[in-house]
Amino acid sequence: MNETTTTSLWQQMWEHGLREAVERLSDDDAMQMTERYGAHNYAPLPVNIVRAKGALVYDGSGKEYIDCIGCYSAVAHGHLSEFISRAAKEQLEKITLISRAVYTSEMALLVKGLCDYTGCEMACPMNTGAEAVETAIKLARKWAYKVKGVPDGEAEIIVAEDNFHGRTTTIVGFSTEEQYRDGFGPFTPGFTIVPFADIGALKAAITPNTAAVMLEPIQAEGGVVIPPDGYLEAVREACTEKDVLLIWDEIQTGFCRTGKRFAWQHEDAPGDLLCLGKALGGGVMPVSAVVGRRDVLEVFTPGDHGSTFGGNPLGAVVALAAMAEMEVKDMCENSARMGSRLLKSLRSLEHECIEDVRGRGLLVGLEVYEGTDTKALADAFLQNGILTKETRSRTFRFAPPLIIDEATVDEIIRRTSDALRAVS
């Protein structure tokens, strides 16, 4: 593309609007353009989605798909929630972004709303899930040095094998997934890795220098791995006994995904810090936060941490609308009820390739036996109008919007059965 062509493109967008430029692209053109000009840090399914509403999405030919990826729990309210979209549109007419050098009413309501919804005392808004995790790491380390008395530079954070907390260089440094680490070192020290769901190993790893234990209550990216009953509560007790902060990464499991507001609530295991994100953005934009104890968040002083867009007025209003809709529509109850129906129905499928089905609420994993052609199965799901991708351990994740009804669950089962039949 030469300079004249580029200038013409910008001029057309300015004069005729961006929608026309987008809608002129065919599905094939969009996929080829992405592959040519975009970094290959994803391997998308061969489908170009041009429209979405509720739990359904459509490609350029009009073919319908049930979105069981759900943007990894970020589209919990369904695509284009009318309430959230209206709140965003109204805010777009007023103010969208202003420096954190000043106060805003939207930011004030956001931090108050986050504390009310989570039962926590203070909140630090950010944008992406990885930023929330990085924020929690910084809070835990500074708390260890300034409050607990750990010698400077010696703080340790315990994490679990097969974790997924994001993709920054610090975070991938304590991943056990080799691809996430390959080519990106040297890595930040100060992390101890223990087996997930092994309370004995976790207790043995705690030292006087341990600042925090950071875990996902359910390892979603790891293959929807659910710890045994009592584990979450045992982790809470161990952290309390040893004066160690407990950080729950609820970025994927939070906001009603597992049938509770947060997955730690399946047991009596409150965290000292919670990392939040994904569904908090209402399917509209990235919004994340760390919430927790006042005495921990108050270790931050002006200049310690920040984000240009963190807590911006538009994001704040979207997040408030997202929490309001969760509460008023009782999405926890629907997630629990529809999740139970989905789990029971998937377990009733009689296909030889199914090894296990597990889940809580509307976070469900279907694991197939080793030797199953998972690429062919992913293609079969797509052909049958189901968007889902393999996580680790040959597990296909089902995390549809929390608004789905019985008819949608039954349709997911029918299409899933057809896809499994195609590869069995």
Q: Which residues are catalytic?
A: 164, 249, 278
| Mutual angle of helices 313-328 and 105-118, in 10-degree steps | 30
Buried b / exposed e over 275-307, threshold 16 CB at 10 Å, is bbbbbbbbbbbbbbbbbbbeebbebbeeeebeb
| DSSP-assigned letters across all residues of 84-114 | HHHHHHHHHTT-----TTS--HHHHHHHHHH
In whole angstroms, give the CA distance from residue 416 to residue 262: 28
Q: Are 87 and 417 in contact (CB under 8 A)?
A: no
Buried b / exposed e over 233-256, threshold 16 CB at 10 Å, is ebbbbbbeeeebbbbbbbbbbbbb
The secondary structure element, H or E, covering residue 65 is: strand 64-67
Residue 20 neighbours by CB distance under 10 Å: 11
In whole angstroms, give the CA distance from residue 268 to residue 285: 32
